[in-house]
Chain A
Amino acid sequence: MNMAKREGIRLNKIHDYLWEIPRTGKMRVPGRVYASEGMLEKIKDNRALEQVVNVAHLEGIEKYSLAMPDIHWGYGFPIGGVAAMDAQEGVISPGGVGYDINCGVRLMTTNLSEFDIKPRLKTLVDTLFENVPCGLGIKGDITLNQKDYQEIIDKGALWAIERGYGEEDDLDTTEDLGHSPGGSLDAVSERAIERGKASMGTLGSGNHFLEVGIVDEIMLADVAEAFGLREGQVYALIHCGSRGFGHQICSDYIDIMRSYMRRNKIELPDIQLACAHINSTEARDYLSAFAVAVNYAWANRQVIMEICRRSFCDVFGITGEELGGRLVYDVSHNIVKFESHEINGEEKAVCIHRKGATRALPKGHPLIPEKYRDVGQPVFVPGDMGRASFVLVGTERGLDETFATCCHGAGRLLSRRGALRATEGRDVIKEMERRGVVVRARGRRTAREEIPEAYKYVGDVCDAVDKAGIARKVARLKPLGVIKG
């Protein structure tokens, strides 16, 4: 075994893409980091390993505190962190989900090809930019009332479909059929309700986006065929979440759980790991509010996808049927799920936190849509706006080693300040256009903060999970146009 010390944290090499942090002090389990040795240097720089260690202190954590190759410093949990807790005895931590509850990605393919899109690319991106609300303070076209909220609780993404945003078929390829049960407005603050009222159908800002492009390369032909992907095909990739509604719920429950920890004298190395026992009232209330936010996000992405379909039809002068806008899948990367996994030879109920990490179920799993069951669950890993995004598929090894989880994105290399410094005096929009990508961003700094060189190359992140065997690369997507807030 090779040993390497990073920031005072010992790492034992398991194989070229897997490192273990041995249990020390009050860690309840070891840490495990999926990354190449080269990636570890960057991970060390941003102190993410310290956070992997901190998560290992949580009560009820099973097997390992896990980290994906796109890991970077978050607050409490690292982004790219995964932790499964005993569903009876463990704790639940809102920071282990993230402020943006059910932030996730959906991929829509079309019947169009590169030949169709190139002559009208700018018009398409401009039209999407006009039609999809994005950016700070920008309101959506729908204002939610109490009845809407209750229907979102009861129906999830179906609420949006019943209002004319999409088809019921879209639910077949949405994780959990686009609905999480158990939500209640009683567990949601007035402030959250107010923040969510005008944000339905909005993209947000920061690293959220709507990207259009073409399927550039197929790596696993049989899986790609099952997913309905072909080279040269035009797609749209949507990345956003539950907006201010989810952010407020997370903030509210971090407060509630901090009080819980004080009353129950629970001490943790980082207050942002604020948590409560899963069987406590506080945890049950969080899960109830969380379920509302999860449904909000699915409804949000459903609305945006339909706006996207309509925009395509307007720009190309075609019908929806001619467009063939088909939802390949919608999957979350900020979520907590109750699942059953084999631990020490026995099936056990666990509560899995995936924060900046994506579920990746292998073929045969009953939770996968039937049409994909022979190949495995699709996973989408967006990269930066200039280079590539990837489609992956879940594996048995992933189920075994990482509770069926893999990476979610590229992970930043430069801070936002660093990106602004690096782009001082540069016209990033023009630079991207010269590279063949049309970018429209509401905030003038957004494009600069999101320049490709601010991110790790997502291909390296996907290579790491592929070589570690916890997911397989299916296709590479090439962005041609991006809208951002």
Chain B
Amino acid sequence: MLNSTVMGYELLDHTSDLRVRVSGKSLSDIFVCAATAAMDSITDRSKVAPRGRVEIAALGETYEELLVHWLEEILYLVETKGMVFREFGVNEIRNNGVLGWAKGEAVEPDRHELYSEIKAVTFHNLKIEASNAGYTVEIVFDI
């Protein structure tokens, strides 16, 4: 689960919650990596079969809001629809909306060990930074 360099996130210390730094070449990368980081804190993605695909849409007034709302949609599917996901993708990001998808399946307790429940995605210190190398953002999830 920890420090997946391929997907571009690293876990940072936080006394009580989950804090990650996400990096990527594009904004889409950030959204995918952030979703992956969240999912990795919930379950072992390698045990999740990509049986079904769910389309995910979110709105927001800023890219930071879009990111938070995107993640909230995914967490809603986990908590309320009982789903877990293996992979994510983003089709389109505009300045007020994001369209993407997630592939996964319904939770099966015998196959999917569930680690943590994420209560919420916070805006704490959340600022998407752009540089020549790409984008980074820190996200704190309330556990």
- Closest residue of chain A to B142, judged by CB? A99
Known contacts A72-B15, A415-B16; A445 and B115 CB within 8 A of each other: yes
Interface residue tally on B, bucketed by range: 20 to 34
Total count of chain A residues near the partner, CB < 8 A: 48
Cross-chain contact A272 with B142 (CB below 8 angstroms): no
Cross-chain contact B78 with A137 (CB below 8 angstroms): yes
Cross-chain contact B117 with A416 (CB below 8 angstroms): no
Chain A CB within 8 A of B105 CB: no
Find chain B residues with CB under 8 A from A250 CB.
120
- Closest residue of chain B to A274, judged by CB? B123
Find chain B residues with CB under 8 A from A316 CB.
none
Chain A CB within 8 A of B134 CB: no
Chain B CB within 8 A of A485 CB: yes
* B143 vs chain A, min Cβ distance (A): 5
Chain A CB within 8 A of B4 CB: no
* A138 vs chain B, min Cβ distance (A): 9
- Closest residue of chain B to A250, judged by CB? B120
Chain A CB within 8 A of B122 CB: yes
Number of interchain pairs (Cβ within 8 Å)? 104
* A95 vs chain B, min Cβ distance (A): 8
Cross-chain contact B79 with A195 (CB below 8 angstroms): yes
Q: Which chain B residues in 23-54 approach chain A with CB under 8 Å? A: 42
Set B61, B72, B116, B120: member contacting A259, Cβ < 8 A: B61
A117–B65 CA distance with the chains assembled, in angstroms: 51
A262–B61 CA distance with the chains assembled, in angstroms: 11
Known contacts A73-B15, A206-B119; A136 and B76 CB within 8 A of each other: no
Find chain B residues with CB under 8 A from A446 CB.
116
* B17 vs chain A, min Cβ distance (A): 8
Residues of A within 8 A of B (CB): 46, 72-76, 79, 99-100, 135-137, 191, 194-195, 198, 204-207, 244, 247, 250-251, 254-255, 258-259, 262, 270-272, 274, 411-418, 442-446, 449, 485
A-B contact pairs, 5 of them (CB 8 A): A137-B107, A207-B16, A272-B123, A274-B123, A411-B15
